[in-house]
């Protein structure tokens, strides 16, 4: 709408492989921190919070450590049939 100040952006990993610089993560409905939408690298935050309730420093440490699990790049093959590893309704946002 022309009278709105909202903006919408689209991220296309196919045009530029930016994984090594990406800082986006998502938490699934099961409490897994997904580090990339293109693969299954993740950390189980639910387990951390249930095993150590109220320990915000440990949770912060685990979040920081999980960034080391982010892949350097993706390996999407635009010529191949897409492989769905997880539907977006399970991904969270």
Q: What is the pLDDT of residue 13?
A: 59
Domain boundaries, the chain: 21-91
Residue 43 contacts residue 32 (beta carbons within 8 Å): yes
Q: What is the pLDDT of residue 50?
A: 97
Q: What is the pLDDT of residue 24?
A: 78
Q: What is the pLDDT of residue 71?
A: 77
What number is the average pLDDT over the span 43-70? 93
Q: What is the pLDDT of residue 19?
A: 67
Model-level pTM?
A: 0.65
Q: What is the pLDDT of residue 25?
A: 83
Judged against a pLDDT cut of 80, whether residue 16 lies above it is answered with no
Residue 35 contacts residue 25 (beta carbons within 8 Å): yes
Count other Cβ atoms within 10 Å, centred on residue 91: 15
Mean pLDDT of the chain: 79
Residue 71 contacts residue 19 (beta carbons within 8 Å): yes
């Amino acid at each position: 709408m022309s009278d709105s100040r909202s903006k919408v952006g689209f991220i296309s990993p196919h045009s530029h492989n930016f994984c090594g610089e990406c800082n986006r993560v998502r938490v699934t409905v099961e409490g897994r921190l997904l580090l990339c939408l293109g693969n299954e690298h993740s950390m189980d935050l639910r387990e951390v919070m249930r095993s150590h309730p109220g320990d915000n420093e440990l949770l912060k440490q685990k979040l920081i450590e999980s960034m080391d699990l982010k892949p350097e790049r993706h390996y999407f093959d635009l010529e191949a049939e897409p492989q769905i590893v997880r539907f977006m309704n399970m991904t969270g946002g």
